[in-house]
Structure 1
């Protein structure tokens, strides 16, 4: 009986080891190709990634769809998340890649592996109609401790404002762009900030008469501005990221990236990334 039990356990161990061997040898890229679908995390932030009439759209989405199609993965399955939950969601396996125009930062580089830069962008302000406090820059916010600014959780703007002298006590964290508009409209905040194209287009879509975009906003001369948006992968998914980068490079060289982002309000001159800007240089702080 004991010999039979030992033999049974040995067989079961071999079965388990064989199964583990199959899993460890599996390729994320090949698995996605076989399934024909990739799960992408996005934060419903125009014009980078958003859902409209049940369809996933946006500049970052257009790029990702084209890249994955070139890799033989035809379906992009969008998974909506709050911006601050995108990186934790990637780590938890809720999606295979983040496609949200997320800015590459040295801090984020410690948690995820970014693809190469796809889009370049600056910052913007939304204020009460008429801009009664004459806020034209982050320094203007810092100069008046009475000013409260609403910022989307997880966004880089909090760090930028602190670098410009804004006190943490002036900053109100909110879950998303609509919540930031609501805070200003109700008077709980004086101003909100975000990436220039995001908040400008969001305000146009919201059609809120009480608020306006500050066209004369002075871009802060600090590390991190302009920002460089890219897809983000798990650190261990090197093969998938490298394959993505290879296709992305081809699309940059043939001008396809500029054509893909143009319908979403971006321009080749203002928003495409110079070839000498790399993820490595941004992560290291050289171009951040």
Structure 2
């Protein structure tokens, strides 16, 4: 009986030690991870030209480029790309599987409630990817309603919420894991439109001549939205240092040399728009 108790006590103690150790590891700040020689894990999904993995597995796209440049200015070069589904980005950050989200997210209230954002890195609008020539003359969500048409958008994209808010019926909206699946549905005629940000829309049309885009100036959705890079709340000190380095970097020759190959132009600079104001929007 004593031997059993001793073994049970040791087993329980070991289990508790592992549990406590795991809890501590998960609670480590990014600065602590860096001090222990760990890499800075950049979380993103395949959403070119914002963020994507290169053929060699490296982090590509202008959001990754901005993050990597700024981290380098801060003295950090040990960066690890982590490719995942768009809908998994915030859960991965909260669970400690990635350290920074570089996917290219609009700063909106619901996301601000789940993670902290850097200062804005750009301001962008949305539009429809449609069959070439836009045969059904789609420009707004109301056009989908009036013609009883369907749309597909990636899970977690603001356009899903915007479409529902505009009155598009639930049975006319399909949610898929990512842009690849959404564009495949359009290519095969299973949907009429894919509402996404204008940069992804232009990129899709450039890569596939069966696609076109609706007029971004005529699109009625949300106003131009700012994009930021995501951090855990416990990394607020690191985020503050990141913002300090970002301030001098935004609009610089170094930045434009990095982002121009991925279709970012000076017109996308956020100007006086702020993360604080964006976090109040839906």
> TM-score, length-normalised on structure 1?
0.83
CA distance in structure 2 between the aligned counterparts of 1:100 and 1:210, rounded to whole angstroms: 26
What does residue 66 of structure 1 align with?
A: 69
Q: CA deviation at 1:215?
A: 4.1
Distance 1:215 1:42 in 2: 28
Tell me, yes or no, if the aligned pair for 1:42 and 1:80 is still in contact at 8 Å. yes
Structure 1 residues 281, 64: closer, same or farther in 2, change over 3 A?
Answer: same
The equivalent of 2:192 in structure 1 is: 190
| Residues 1:169 and 2:171 aligned together | yes
Q: Equivalent residue of 2:162, what SS?
A: helix
Structure 1 stretches lacking a partner, 5+ long: none
- Residue 37 of structure 1 is matched in structure 2 by 39
Given the alignment of the two structures, is residue 219 of structure 1 paired with residue 215 of structure 2, yes or no? no
When the two chains are superposed, the root-mean-square deviation of aligned CA atoms in Å is 2.8
* Residue in structure 2 matching 1:272, options 258, 269, 276: 269
How far did residue 238 of structure 1 move? Answer: 1.0
**Deviation at 1:36?**
6.2
Q: Which secondary structure does the structure 2 equivalent of 1:107 belong to?
A: helix
For residues 236-288 of structure 1, the C-alpha deviation after alignment (integer angstroms, 9 at most, x for no partner) is: 1111111111111121275644443222112112x0011x3211111123xx6
CA distance in 2, matches of 1:204, 1:24: 42
* 8 Å CA contact 2:162, 2:221 repeated in 1: no
SS in 2 for 1:219: coil
CA distance in 1, matches of 2:25, 2:159: 41
> What TM-score does the superposition give when structure 2 sets the normalisation length?
0.84
What is the distance in 1 between the residues matched to 2:90 and 2:28? Answer: 23
Q: Is residue 130 of structure 1 aligned with residue 133 of structure 2?
A: yes
Look up the SS of the partner of 1:100 in the other structure. Answer: strand
1:114 aligned onto 2:117: yes
CA distance 1:26–1:123, shift in 2 (3 Å): closer
